[in-house]
Structure 1
Amino acid sequence: MIAEMDADSVAGYFRSKSILITGSTGFLGKVLVEKILRVQPDVKKLFLLIRAPDVESAKLRIQTEVTGREIFRVLKENHGAGFDNFIEEKICPSVGNIMKENFGLDNSQLKEFSKDIDIIINGAATTNFFERYDVAFDTNVLGAKHVCAFAKNCPKLKMLLHVSTAYVAGEKEGLISEKPFLMGETLRVGTYLDIESELNLINKTKRELIANRSTDKVVRKAMKELGLKRARHFGWANTYVFTKAMGEMLLEHLHEGCPMVIIRPSIITSTLKDPFPGWMEGIRSQKLNICLLLTKVYNHM
């Protein structure tokens, strides 16, 4: 009964709200979009931030990578012939990139975009455990910083919700209390993490690789190895959780005046029953098991 009341209160809270969602084309993102539209059809607008050259391209990505997926089957059945009109009314494709300051928008675009946003859900991330350090840093660290800066310019904002991961806490056992990361905090005693220095290291390494006329393959390999080396130096298992922890640090440091919640889900697998049992996209379960195994192998090398 309590769970049902909580679910009802959350759904009620979304009524007449305009919500900006980043990462909507991802596995978790499209589940979130479908859920909101199904349980709260009176949501005002869902602004989906999409990397695309123009609005029409962004709209096409949403149609093919979000609303066109099997997870929307029940919603389509519920609305029947009116499904496309419902989606058109509720979803607003918004061209932008969290890796860029101000999402790559000019001042007039930014002002127009920010004025109606009530809630921001930042789910955009690269979740590859062994991603290139530069790519993971741009998305998971600078992306969080840029979303926070945008949130502070939204006059109607009621909440910024940032999706992190439980594994920022490291490989620990037992009950682990939830607490925010402070700037410079690491998982290894005797080390101090300077985020600006990490960015400088990335840029310096890339400049040296380019000066040596390294191939794309060599650069990619070097960036992956650098990410793992830095993560393990500070006590994290892989580049993904390391950069997500840095993203949390920046949010905690910069969010003053902006209501914020950070959630740390663990491994996300298939749907239990809603909108129907067993939905999963791709072969994520096998990939996750392989990545976890590889992490253990790397950490014991």
Structure 2
Amino acid sequence: MAEVESFNDFIRGKTIFVTGATGFVGKVFVEKILRVQPEIKRLYLLIRAPNSDLATQRLHNKVFGKELFKVLKEKWGADFRCFISDKVVAVAGDVSLQNLGIKDKNMFNQMLKELDIIVHTAATTNFNERYDVAMSTNTMGAFHIVSFAKNCHKIEIVLHLSTAYVCGEAEGVILEKPLHGDQMKKGSAKLDIKLEKQLIEDKLTELRMHETNEEEIKSVMKSFGLARANVHGWPNTYVFTKAMGEMILMKMKGTLPFIIIRPTMIISTQFEPFPGWIEGFRTIDVIVFHYVNGTMKSLVGIGETILDVIPVDMVVNFMIAASMAISKGLSKNLVYHVGSSLRNPFTLNDLVDDMYYYFTKYPFVDEYGKTIVVTKKLTISSHVNHLSQNKVVIKIEDFLKPFSMFKGIFDDKNAESLRMVTKRVASMDGRFDFGFDPKSINWKDYMMNIHFPGLMKHSIKKLSIGSKM
């Protein structure tokens, strides 16, 4: 370990390709890389757009225009745009397409020659996505990334960001093991990804033959995805298609230097680039939102259920550390869980208590200036009582049940081993923090002083009370 460079030294001079840069984790990863190592050679960011001009425009609107980058902008001042233009290339494309949808052949060939690291974070995270869309992005996106990576001349590491919930409705200690196509969650029918693709095509053909309108097609394909997920033992289309993506990776990877990182429920930044930044609503935040605006009084769940949450900057730190560890031969493991349930559990009861204490002290003021006063804790019950709930809450409860009643704990022996290996490396990076130990989190302090205030500022206050979640 004495000869191992720091994380910053590892990144220096590298050319990195990131998919999903407009997403939550992708943005935080890009920001950290540019902030801690300005001497990166180049950062290629795949942006879903028909051409490079629109890709660049979307990049500045959806990524660099966000408050997340305020620390980096303050650092560079008037030179920020020049710095970004020099280091970042917007690549027009789409992971769901062959060759990642990259039409610029010169850029495509240049990337094949230059790339050192590929970070694949692109995904549709909508649990109730239509099946054809989720399959194209989450499953076939993995196929296209591997196909692309195999043609790269000097690739050091390919990092695939998955989700710990590819385990389905598992119970007990869930190990950091690869997924294979012959691993079924329930039932006797073997999961055949080619068959699933064919079923999608057949369903779409049938709908179009009957001249079904687009709205109805969307609805049918959403229901179809959920039905297929349930048949094979997964609770929603998102985790089902992500699981199939992993299966494809395992079948295709060959000798590629590959790692699969499975974070649990990702929530706001704990420290970097500043505490409490979040975009949109993470899983538990749906509960927070409906509790503070008074639409949710009770929730189907088990109070002792562990809500495995982890700050997004901790996930990004792990991604960087794991990339170096695999590249330098410091770790041989393929799959890593990044979560908190084993080493520092946070329960549904903890969330209920923290919400009550925070929002009685700091009541929510809606868009019309009305103060919504919280008078009771959210009631947790293992029994469904839809008589007292409106349709929105019933839908939310169905969405949350796989988490509010989850009976698994994610083992993180591989992640802990990597923590031990990289501990000294992290200490070499001076003022930049690369920590990812969940035991360091004080959940009450984090929720009360970081997450809830950040959620109110960046997500809840920007969402109209009348908007649909």
Q: Compute the TM-score of the two structures, normalised by the length of structure 2.
A: 0.60
Distance 2:254 2:229 in 1: 27
* 5+ residue gaps, structure 1: none
Could you say what secondary structure the match of 1:175 adopts?
strand
Could you say what secondary structure the match of 1:161 adopts?
strand
Is the Cα contact below 8 Å between 1:209 and 1:219 reproduced in 2? yes
Percent of matched pairs sharing the same residue: 46
- Equivalent of residue 131 in structure 1, options 129, 132, 150: 129
- Equivalent of residue 201 in structure 2, options 203, 213, 216: 203
Task: Name the aligned partner's letter for residue 157 of structure 2.
Answer: M
Is the Cα contact below 8 Å between 1:184 and 1:195 reproduced in 2? no
- Coordinate RMSD, CA, aligned: 2.3
Distance 1:182 1:222 in 2: 29
Cα offset, 1:171, TM superposition: 2.5
Distance 1:287 1:115 in 2: 44
Task: Name the aligned partner's letter for residue 285 of structure 2.
Answer: Q
Distance 2:34 2:79 in 1: 14
| Closer, same or farther: CA 23–184 of 1 in aligned 2, 3 Å | same
Task: Name the aligned partner's letter for residue 224 of structure 1.
Answer: K
Could you say what secondary structure the match of 2:158 adopts?
strand
Distance 2:19 2:93 in 1: 9
Which residue does 1:36 correspond to in 2? 33
| Closer, same or farther: CA 105–281 of 1 in aligned 2, 3 Å | closer
Which residue does 1:194 correspond to in 2? 192
Cα offset, 1:115, TM superposition: 1.1
Which residue does 2:273 correspond to in 1? 275
Aligned residues: 295
Cα offset, 1:28, TM superposition: 1.1
Cα offset, 1:191, TM superposition: 2.9
Cα offset, 1:114, TM superposition: 1.4
Distance 2:119 2:396 in 1: 27
Deviates more, 1:184-193 or 1:113-122: 184-193
| Closer, same or farther: CA 247–17 of 1 in aligned 2, 3 Å | same
The answer to whether residue 14 in structure 2 is matched with residue 17 in structure 1 is yes
Is the Cα contact below 8 Å between 2:93 and 2:103 reproduced in 1? no
Cα offset, 1:297, TM superposition: 5.7
Distance 2:19 2:76 in 1: 25
Could you say what secondary structure the match of 2:216 adopts?
helix
- Equivalent of residue 102 in structure 2, options 102, 105, 109: 105
Q: Compute the TM-score of the two structures, normalised by the length of structure 1.
A: 0.92
| Closer, same or farther: CA 104–296 of 1 in aligned 2, 3 Å | closer
Cα offset, 1:56, TM superposition: 1.4
Task: Name the aligned partner's letter for residue 50 of structure 1.
Answer: I
| Closer, same or farther: CA 202–162 of 1 in aligned 2, 3 Å | same
Distance 2:37 2:171 in 1: 38
| Closer, same or farther: CA 72–19 of 1 in aligned 2, 3 Å | same
Which structure has the larger Rg? 2
| Closer, same or farther: CA 9–186 of 1 in aligned 2, 3 Å | farther
Cα offset, 1:298, TM superposition: 8.9
Could you say what secondary structure the match of 2:165 adopts?
helix
The answer to whether residue 20 in structure 2 is matched with residue 45 in structure 1 is no
Distance 1:105 1:43 in 2: 23
